[in-house]
Chain A
């Protein structure tokens, strides 16, 4: 019974946070992209930048609202499902969460109103400043939450008094060993997600006939940004992995599907990890490559999963399959991103044809990749979060210690309700993005009018 509650609570938390992270992943970077559009407009006075701004600010508003409401859920989940977490490490998690809520959330929530609705009510520079503050606020929000999350992976700067963690060194807590890697990795993931979303939706608009200057400039910006960022992301991801190997070797062992500690470990491309037999089936690997990637030595020693089983048989490493496969989905999606963005950039650059140089199959490929950032980001988070199990805070407390003693049927029924709502909203979200794209492609107003003279503007829909 208790185990069921634990498992269901984990699934519920995973469902809530997975749904939530989709939208910050978009808003963190989209805020900066909007600022870029706005600054280009301020500089050049070209209408096409404002056209791009007008379309994407709506997607921003929509994503932001989804992020806010699903974020509220998160702040309650700690108490409803995981009271043990705050009881034990609340002295450290508390201030970090507080700073997230106070500095960032409010900044966004208040200036967002001015950014979305205030263009004709405030001077232009105030509107630009509001756009900047919203982008900055979203980024700070991400910073504090990543600090807390990283601390859960690589905790330091605290002492345990009577079973409760007390902070001793805040700079050690904030700048914990995995934070810089995780933060950079996440911010880049956000920019890649937004790049592929903008590229995909713009390709869709282009294909159905919405060939405006705004679409052209947004698509080009997005494709080039993706092409530039993806190799950086692969490099940062590699550094993050090396950091994980140092502090959470069990996670890396699960990612690699490596059971025995040995030298010259192969890089496994495909395998079906068997948790019972503690070995891989159908393994296909490249000899010695894992050792080389992780230790930069073809014969380097890499720790295996069997190191993390205590003498009385307690397993202190995560279940292997979910970590192993999430990791491969993330890397695979990343490589696909590299392929698509580089070929698209090549086609744009070739004889300086711009987006006209993109053939139809490439446009379809871009549309198909619209939400590839979501896939890679979720797979990456699953790798790192499931990879931390059975720990909630690495080496300090297990997930099992933190769970609330709520009857399993209650957890299950609310889980089903959440899932139904989330599925509906996700469909509606994607539907509305493409609906807006079709509408603008037909040359219809989508109700956003940033023209400085409201009197001359067509009647807009209220409340947009």
Chain B
């Protein structure tokens, strides 16, 4: 079959890839700012302000990647959007309320009278926690094929905890990069305390996925695929070892290498996500609907693609720009 000649083949693939990239960027970018929220109870008031300042200019743009990911699911794979979100009705509602709480807490904690500030700090923490837990729960349910059985829910609760701790880890590495002195040292400890969430989370999903479906099992454990795929787990292992050895010696003199834990955590995230994408392709609803079955009509997808090709590079460009403008250590954030 001529893959590039048939738009009902290559268009869904392109959109699945775009959606995958959006989800990946989302879990990395919003992952760190959700993680910062989850770490809130461990910080004192001054540190809280600085932690907020480290994510203040970015969280809004970070969250729009979720909108883009869900938006792409909605517009490119409408029937899958319905199937997945109807199955995940309750966790989605909890996540949305969490996102609302933390999003507005950002603004309110800075503008409300001082005595109310701790209230909004709590709302920010609660919102971050609800969002992280429900996303982890949804991840677990998705891996298990979106069926509500007791065992699946049990697994999903585990992944909820792991993902939340994993987010707190990547949040801690972000704080290491964006702050200095006492808070930075504290963040190193948080990262050390949170790395297990990431390792166990990736481990649990890697182990569980092949056993849920023989199709996925065969994709990983047949020759020669197993050989080509072996760099993925090996790379992940090396990244974990590198991270751990780095964190043990942190902070380095003159703040050297402060960006590296975040970079390593990001790389780990990418390998894990790559593995999952490989497992589930070509299904968008696990073992039920493929991307080709769920896709919108080619002419509609094509229209969206034109816009995407213009807009996505622009978005990428000014996302980089805004991270560049607000580079360096987080200082006081103000409207000036």
A residues whose Cβ falls under 8 Å from a Cβ of B: 54, 57-58, 61-62, 64-66, 68-73, 75-76, 78-80, 83-84, 86-87, 90-95, 97-99, 101-103, 105-106, 109-114, 116-122, 164, 166-167, 170, 404-406, 410, 414, 417-418, 421, 425, 428, 431-432, 435-436, 446-451, 454, 457, 459-464
Contacts and interface: CB of A to CB of B under 8 A. Distances in A.
Contact of A463 (B58, B61, B81, B109): B109
28 contacts: A62-B107, A64-B60, A68-B103, A69-B63, A73-B96, A76-B96, A79-B82, A83-B79, A90-B74, A90-B78, A91-B299, A97-B75, A98-B71, A98-B75, A98-B308, A99-B304, A101-B68, A102-B312, A109-B64, A111-B318, A113-B60, A113-B326, A117-B56, A117-B326, A117-B334, A164-B297, A450-B336, A461-B334
Nearest to A53: B335
Contacts of B93: 80, 414, 417-418
A86 B303 contact: no
A406 B32 CA distance: 33
A119 B336 contact: yes
B232 interface: no
Nearest to A425: B104
Given A78-B82, A167-B300, A418-B97, 19 more contacts: A79-B84, A80-B86, A80-B89, A87-B82, A90-B75, A90-B78, A91-B300, A94-B75, A101-B67, A102-B315, A106-B64, A106-B68, A110-B321, A113-B61, A121-B325, A414-B89, A446-B111, A463-B53, A464-B110
B71 A113 contact: no
B113 interface: yes
Contacts of B73: 79
B310 to A, nearest CB: 9
A101 B96 CA distance: 18
A8 to B, nearest CB: 12
- Please report whether the interface of chain B is mostly helix, strand, loop or mixed according to DSSP: helix
Interface string B290-301: 000000110110
Contacts of B72: 98
A326 B35 CA distance: 44
A207 B308 CA distance: 51
Interface of B: 49-50, 52-53, 56-58, 60-61, 63-64, 66-68, 70-76, 78-79, 81-86, 88-90, 92-93, 96-97, 99-101, 103-104, 106-113, 296-297, 299-300, 303-304, 307-308, 311-312, 315, 318-319, 321-322, 325-326, 332-336
A460 B303 contact: no
A71 B103 CA distance: 11
A435 B112 contact: yes
A451 B336 CA distance: 7
B335 A54 contact: yes
A6 B332 CA distance: 49
B37 to A, nearest CB: 13
Contact of B110 (A410, A414, A461): A461
Nearest to A84: B82
B66 A72 contact: yes
Contacts of B322: 110, 113-114
Contact of A98 (B49, B307, B335): B307
Nearest to A438: B113
Contacts of A92: 300
A402 B245 CA distance: 55
Contacts of A109: 60-61, 63-64
Contacts of A170: 303
B104 A66 contact: yes
B113 A435 contact: yes
Given A80-B86, A410-B89, A432-B111, A103 B307 contact: yes
B335 A116 contact: yes
A106 B65 CA distance: 9
Nearest to B73: A79
Contacts of A99: 304, 307
A201 to B, nearest CB: 14
Contact of B82 (A68, A83, A114, A464): A83
Most chain A beta-carbon contacts within 10 A, residue among B53, B90, B107, B299:
B107
Given A117-B326, A451-B336, A94 B100 contact: no
Contacts of B92: 76, 80
